[in-house]
Amino acid sequence: MSSPDLAIDVSVVVATFNRAAMLRETLRSLVELETDGAFAYEVLVVDNASSDNTPQAITEFAAVDRRGSAVRVRGVREPSPGVSHARNRGVGEAAGDWVAFHDDDQVADPRWLAELVALAKRRSALVVGGAVKLKLPAGAKEPSARYLRQMLGEKVGMPAEQPFNRRQIPGAGSLMIDRGVFDHVGLFDTDLEIGGEDADLYRRIRAAGYEAWYTPKAIVHHLIPAKRLDSDYMRWTAARHGQHVALREFLDWGPRKLPLVMAARLGQATINYLPRYLAARLTGDRDGALAARCLMLRSQSYLAKAWRLLLHGEGQQGAADAALSLREGRERLVGGQAPEAETPPRLVATGPQE
């Protein structure tokens, strides 16, 4: 917690695991944030039991001559594995009245936090989020299909300031919440190992009556290593999406209405995604074919998870859930097992946004 002589308005929480190289890029951007003299912020890194040199990276930026515009940079270690455990530890340790979340594989635009603070004041909102754009390896081609970019983390289809809604939801990579909201709706669900913990939190925020606002001016850039552009990674991500969407809709609609939603999802896959896949294959549109295939896989994963939820409820985790564990999947598919393996790409700006 904060010392009595420190006045901190916003705590920027960064949960990290075995990404020391990327973390340095992240911290370099976070200590260069503009504040317009309107607020003071700290950077709080939650090391989720990393085995690389993450502690050294935190120590480097905690030095007085490296912390830049931040009041301080500090780290805590959270031994329980999983991003929800790490983010919840961050909320508990945060000194600010506001908690902003930023991922360890992103770099923030200098105006990122100032724009979130301004949006919260302008809209009298207790939950605000911003834009995510992609930073690809030098020479890599930006995926042309919208869904592929969404799976890589880009926020698409939101060109103007607007409230979030059931379809357009905030992600925890660019999100700021008044800490009192957590007292009302609870923290991140630590049982959601396949991901979707931010969507679940927003579901509870929305159900509690809070209006969350988005601004395209608060920008973070998601660093995309080359391995994340592989089709295997895309398919794994699509399957994860299907599972956590199924859980969210089970909690939203309940077991009586969920079969109707399942039928609509099946119809969508049959009438929309399958023809799109066949058309893309015929025209040689590789991105379009991969996107449609991933959408069909998402539907398949959704239906399988929804069926298990109807039979067993939300408490039972099956083998398919374990296979889609966010932490274990990243280790296997992106190469996080070796220290420093997920190094940041040499950055180039992506092309025009849709």
Longest CA pairwise span in the chain (Å): 67
pLDDT attached to residue 330: 53
pLDDT attached to residue 244: 85
Q: Express each pLDDT in 173-224 by its tens digit.
A: 999 999 999 999 999 999 887 778 999 999 999 999 999 999 999 999 999 9
pLDDT attached to residue 315: 56
Average per-residue pLDDT for the chain: 89
pLDDT attached to residue 337: 36
Residue 51, phi then psi, degrees to nearest 5: -110, 5
Sequence-distant contacts of 85-88: CB under 8 A, at least 24 apart: 85/48, 85/190, 86/15, 86/16, 86/17, 86/46, 86/48, 87/13, 87/15, 87/46, 87/172, 87/187, 87/188, 87/197, 88/187, 88/188, 88/190
Residue type, 207: A
Q: Express each pLDDT in 304-327 by its tens digit.
A: 999 999 998 865 555 455 444 555
Give dist(CA 191, CA 197) in Å, integer.
9
Give dist(CA 239, CA 32) in Å, integer.
37
Residue 134, phi then psi, degrees to nearest 5: -95, 140
Flag whether pLDDT at 348 surpasses 80.
no
**Cβ(302)–Cβ(243) below 8 Å:** yes
Give dist(CA 149, CA 272) in Å, integer.
19
Determine the average pLDDT of the residues in 121-134.
98
Residue type, 17: F
**Cβ(46)–Cβ(134) below 8 Å:** no
Flag whether pLDDT at 142 surpasses 80.
yes
pLDDT > 90: percent of the chain: 81
pLDDT attached to residue 331: 53
Determine the average pLDDT of the residues in 216-237.
94
Query: DSSP letter string over 295-312?
Result: HHHHHHHHHHHHHHHHHH
Closest CA to 114 of 184, 216, 179, 36: 36
pLDDT attached to residue 4: 45
At what angle are helices 197-207 and 83-93 packed, to 10 degrees?
50
Give dist(CA 42, CA 30) in Å, integer.
9
Flag whether pLDDT at 264 surpasses 90.
yes
Note the pTM of the prediction, 2 decimals: 0.86
Closest CA to 21 of 334, 352, 351, 353: 334
Give dist(CA 290, CA 147) in Å, integer.
9
3-class DSSP state of 219: strand
Determine the average pLDDT of the residues in 138-159.
92
